[in-house]
Amino acid sequence: MQSSYRPPENFPLQGGARDRTVVISMPEHPKDYIVWSMASLYFGNPFCLGLLAFYFSIKSRDRKVVGDLAGARAYGSTACCINGWALALIILTIIIAIIVVVVTMSAVTRHFPSHSPYY
């Protein structure tokens, strides 16, 4: 996983013998989870959670463009949480579907034995 940390940049001041270094720390932009929200919207979308996550991702991106980093971080965190719940429900649904198919197939094969002439 790639880190988004960037070390502070140093810029020397104009001043002759007493040159000093100024450290400028740039604020880290919050994540908006837009790609994960689009994937949740397209694949599965249980209880419209993907749509809700997409909405909060767009709100986070809008807040980031305006310059409200605290609001963008809050909306991004909400989008991440909703995406997590959507992913958990999608995985749970797939597991339940696999179990139902396996149990149904085993019941059908037990109920209807093979119709071989040698049976």
Domain boundaries, the chain: 29-111
67: left (phi over 0), alpha (psi -120 to 50) or beta: left
Tokens read off for 117 = 């002439």
pTM: 0.70
Rounded to an integer, what distance in angstroms lies between the CA atom of residue 82 and that of residue 49?
6
Helices (H), 2-68: 34-42, 49-66
Q: Is the pLDDT of residue 12 over 80?
A: no
Rounded to an integer, what distance in angstroms lies between the CA atom of residue 42 and that of residue 58?
16
Total residues belonging to the chain: 119
Q: Can you give the pLDDT at residue 119?
A: 52
